[in-house]
Structure 1
Amino acid sequence: MPQRKAPRRSFSMLALILVFFAGIGLVAAVDFGIRYTNTLEFCTSCHTMATPFSEYQETLHYKNPSGVRATCADCHVPKALWPKLVTKVIAAKDVYHELIGTIDTPEKFEARRWEMASRVWAKMERSDSRECRTCHEFSSMDLSEQGRSARSRHAAAEDKGQTCIDCHKGVAHEEPYEPLPELSVE
């Protein structure tokens, strides 16, 4: 039987180094992609986002006395890595629907707005409004500085275990109208 040659150690080290640098390159590319797709410019680059963007520009999340601005990603993308990656994969469907024409005009967008908003609200309910709580936490609120109604409602919401989206559905965008059920004509 012929004797097999052992692999050269220098080839194994070179392969290991190449895999290491390819891994670093992949991580850098994913990081760049996530950062780029989290920018306000990217999020508002589709023309059907003109209405949601103009609504957002009228809120305290866009312009306020303190100068702190919450962008699309602050409210729609989790900070933790795995939830962020899941959100990015799911959000790819919005780009897909823009490209295939499902929501590529303001009229088509508005026709599907209730459905899209309902999905976001359900996600926020499941996560206990995780993205809101990055900036707004009951324990950090100075209820004495809030108006009487807000003070009362926030205290009650905390006692009941409610989440932000239970009361604040129209904060950064106008709350869409729920479509009327179809009437059957017999």
Structure 2
Amino acid sequence: MKALIQRLWAYAHTKQFWILAAAFVGGIVFWGGFNTAMEWTNREAFCISCHEMEKNVFEEYRNTIHYQNRTGVRATCPDCHVPKEWGPKMWRKIQASNEVLHKILGSIDTPEKFNAKRAVLAEHEWDRMKSTDSRECRNCHNFSYMDYAEQNSRAATRHQVAFTAGQTCIDCHKGIAHTLPPISQPIGAHKAGEVELPSTAPAKPPASSSEAASEAAPAGSH
């Protein structure tokens, strides 16, 4: 035992030991930094840091049940658009480099440009979700655990038919978090049609006659 300790002590003073130790520590630091960066870019705040996202799709999303609801359980940007598994997540991040390129090129930096490409962008994302069997949707919603007795008759029937037919969430549920482009979509198409997103805040509505009279009255008359 004493001889083993002496050999280890001697090895700890060699150049090879310090190279391996430095590589080990460097690997830990790199991996920690890499994962920190991945998590930082996987936040809603990062997703909407570009005005293209904040002023277009995020404004639409804020008016949906995925943003605010009675239980306070939210589905944020990465919950729907970034896989949770490490491998698919890395591949999605690599694909996102193309989005950085178009940010630099200004491909959708105005409401007009964005709306012109809305259908193409939507179809691309729907195809991605279809190819993964709506993987991100299933983080919260799963046919296998649905209690059809708690659903209204229409929803229960549609879900059971879809489950039997091997359909996936995005086959029916398009346009539930963002404005739906003009497409043929029988379900979830209540917002169909291209829209022009305002570039300025909406004008304040005119005051009612009673409000106008109240504002015009001297302060001491109340």
Question: Which TM class, normalised by the smaller chain length?
Answer: 0.7 to 0.9
- Which has the larger displacement, 13-22 or 155-164? 13-22
In the alignment, the residues of structure 1 paired with residue 23 and residue 109 of structure 2 have an alpha-carbon distance, to the nearest angstrom, of: 41
Q: Say which of 76, 83, 91 aligns to 2:88.
A: 83
Matched, 1:96 2:101: yes
Matched, 1:122 2:98: no
In the alignment, the residues of structure 1 paired with residue 16 and residue 96 of structure 2 have an alpha-carbon distance, to the nearest angstrom, of: 40
What's the CA shift string for 1:6-28, capped at 9, x where partnerless?
xx961111111111111112211
Which letter maps to 1:17? A
What's the CA shift string for 1:121-164, capped at 9, x where partnerless?
11111100000001000111111111221111101000100000
1:37 corresponds in structure 2 to 41
The TM-score with structure 1 as length reference comes to 0.88
In the alignment, the residues of structure 2 paired with residue 106 and residue 32 of structure 1 have an alpha-carbon distance, to the nearest angstrom, of: 33
Is contact 1:129-1:165 (8 Å) kept?
A: yes
In the alignment, the residues of structure 1 paired with residue 121 and residue 177 of structure 2 have an alpha-carbon distance, to the nearest angstrom, of: 15
> RCO (CA 8 Å, sep 6+): is it higher in 1 or 2?
1
2:172 corresponds in structure 1 to 167
Matched, 1:20 2:24: yes
Larger radius of gyration: 2
**Aligned length, in residue pairs:** 172
Is contact 1:144-1:151 (8 Å) kept?
A: yes
The TM-score with structure 2 as length reference comes to 0.74
Structure 2: gaps spanning 5 or more residues: 1-11, 184-222
What's the CA shift string for 1:19-45, capped at 9, x where partnerless?
111111221122111111111111011
In the alignment, the residues of structure 1 paired with residue 19 and residue 157 of structure 2 have an alpha-carbon distance, to the nearest angstrom, of: 64
Structure 1 moving runs of 4+ over 2 Å: none
Which letter maps to 1:13? F
1:141 corresponds in structure 2 to 146
Q: Identical aligned pairs, as a percentage?
A: 47
